[in-house]
Structures are given as structure tokens and as C-alpha cells.
């Protein structure tokens, strides 16, 4: 009886591990209007070659930047110039038809600055050629 309960508990833990690991490690290649990017979340190109994330230039740095990495060589390809102090509170999001970066105080520190009426279908896509494409959804 104890052995069966122990076996069921181990099986449940294994299932929970794989469910959590799938959700935590799965990254999309698109950022839609109802989504945000912060903390350790990433956008990964569909072929798994490139990754957009908040990163610190060194482990001792107190600032984070938004950057695109070539995953296979861990080579940084692009980095934003706006430092963020807390990557867990900062957000990259699509808001009112613009791609917006807000800092830890929820103050807009960067935006695409577009004037568009198409806010519901705007999205950001990381392509396999390392380009980050912002599509306002307007034809």
C-alpha cells in the first residue's frame, strides 16, 4: 500500500515536471497585443536560431538591455541602448499600435512612435534571418 502511494507520488511529480518544463521553456516567435515580454521570457525564431530577451552584459552589471542573440554561438547580434534596472518589472509590449518598452517604474522609455489606427492586430515577429519585424496589421 505504501509502495503504491509512493509510486503514484513519483509519477505525479514526473508529470508535473514535464508540464512545467514545457510551459517554461516554450518560447514563441511572436509577441501579440495581449502578451508582454519580461524577466527571463524570450521570443525565439521559429527555426530556433535567434532569441530576443533581456540580458545583462556581465553578471556583475546592474543593468539589463533588450537584445537579439544567435543561440548556437551565444553571439549578441543586436542590443537596445536603453538600460533597465529590473528585468522582472520592465515590459516589452504592443500598445496602441506601437511596440513599447516600459521600465521598472512602468514609464515608457522607448517606442516605435507610429501613429496607426490598427491596434488589435499589431504584432512583433522574430524571423530566422535575425530580423525583428513589427507588423501594424494595416495593409
59-105 confidence digits (pLDDT tens): 657 889 898 988 888 777 778 888 899 999 999 998 887 889 999 99
103-128 confidence digits (pLDDT tens): 999 999 998 887 666 556 778 889 99
Around Cβ 94, how many Cβ atoms within 10 Å?
25
Q: How many helices (H) and strands (E) does the chain have?
A: 1, 11
What CATH number has the domain spanning 28-135? 2.90.10.10
Domain boundaries, the chain: 28-135
Angstrom distance (rounded) from CA 78 to CA 68: 5
How does strand 65-70 pair with strand 36-37? Answer: unpaired
Residue 14 DSSP code: H
Query: Residue 91 belongs to what H/E stretch?
Result: strand 91-95
Amino acid at each position: 500500500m505504501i509502495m503504491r502511494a509512493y509510486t503514484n507520488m513519483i509519477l505525479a511529480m514526473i508529470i508535473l515536471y514535464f508540464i512545467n518544463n514545457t510551459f517554461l521553456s516554450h518560447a514563441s516567435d511572436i509577441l501579440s497585443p495581449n502578451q508582454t515580454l519580461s524577466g527571463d521570457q524570450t521570443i525565439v525564431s521559429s527555426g530556433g536560431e535567434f532569441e530576443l530577451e533581456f540580458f545583462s552584459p556581465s553578471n556583475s552589471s546592474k543593468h539589463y538591455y533588450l537584445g537579439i542573440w544567435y543561440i548556437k554561438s551565444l553571439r549578441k547580434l543586436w542590443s537596445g541602448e536603453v538600460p533597465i534596472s529590473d528585468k522582472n518589472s520592465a515590459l516589452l509590449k504592443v500598445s496602441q499600435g506601437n511596440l513599447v518598452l516600459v521600465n521598472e517604474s512602468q514609464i515608457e522609455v522607448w517606442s516605435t512612435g507610429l501613429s496607426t489606427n490598427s491596434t488589435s492586430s499589431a504584432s512583433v515577429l522574430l524571423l530566422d534571418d535575425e530580423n525583428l519585424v513589427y507588423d501594424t496589421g494595416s495593409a
